[in-house]
Amino acid sequence: MSTDHVVLVTGGNRGIGRSIAERFVAEGYPVAVTARSGEGPAGTLTVRADVTDAAAVDAAFSEVEEKLGPVTIVVANAGVTKDTLLLRMSEDDFDSVVATNLGGAFRVVKRAAKGMLRAKWGRVILISSVVGLYGSPGQINYASSKSGLVGFARSLTRELGGRAITANVVAPGFIETDMTAELPDETQAQYKATIPAGRFATPDEVAGVVTWLASDNAAYISGAVIPVDGGLGMGH
């Protein structure tokens, strides 16, 4: 499949974001990724951007628009963690995580919406987490930021749903990454015991859901939360 719809994936230089960018490239989309450092996968345009900085986001979009065209598919994936228990969590621990994970989505989607409205077509896909709806000790900041994406997508759906613009949330569970690979075997076994599927997901399994949501096959789906967690959250 080949398409003229331009994709922007934030945080597309590593992890799930990189797999999402690779999957879009494989399906024939022109793809740009934002990164604070490093490069996106082969076949993508890498632009520098800190999603906590509105001016940097605007500059990144302008560069993508100049080189690839207007962005009509945006995947808000950039995220950070600063895990600690509530009574040990500093103001900055909370504010900085929310500023990146939720505030970053706001800045990126707000900038993208202009082009989508002109095109009368758009796809907004927000990468949340099972933690945002399931909860996790030591992750009040992260869970709050990720659950906030659900309200964001549903409110955006009510604002722009009549313009052929959809907004959905993908909520991954435990994913096979360099970080999970470094966990002791006993710890991995404990995690897997809580997952009905009995295994971690591959990043490409998440990417496949994202590219499907961007396709015409998902044109009537908006305001949805799609878990990719092996049954861990039971649909939230």
Active site residues: 142
Alpha-carbon distance of 226 to 236, in angstroms, equals: 9
Alpha-carbon distance of 73 to 79, in angstroms, equals: 18
What token pair was written down for 194?
Answer: 């809580």
Asked if 160 and 214 count as a contact pair (C-beta separation under 8 A), the reply is: no
**Residue type for 110, please?**
K
Alpha-carbon distance of 79 to 200, in angstroms, equals: 20
Alpha-carbon distance of 179 to 64, in angstroms, equals: 31
Beta bridge partners of 175: 201
Sheet holding 6-10, edge to edge: 44-48, 31-35, 6-10, 71-76, 122-127, 165-172, 225-228
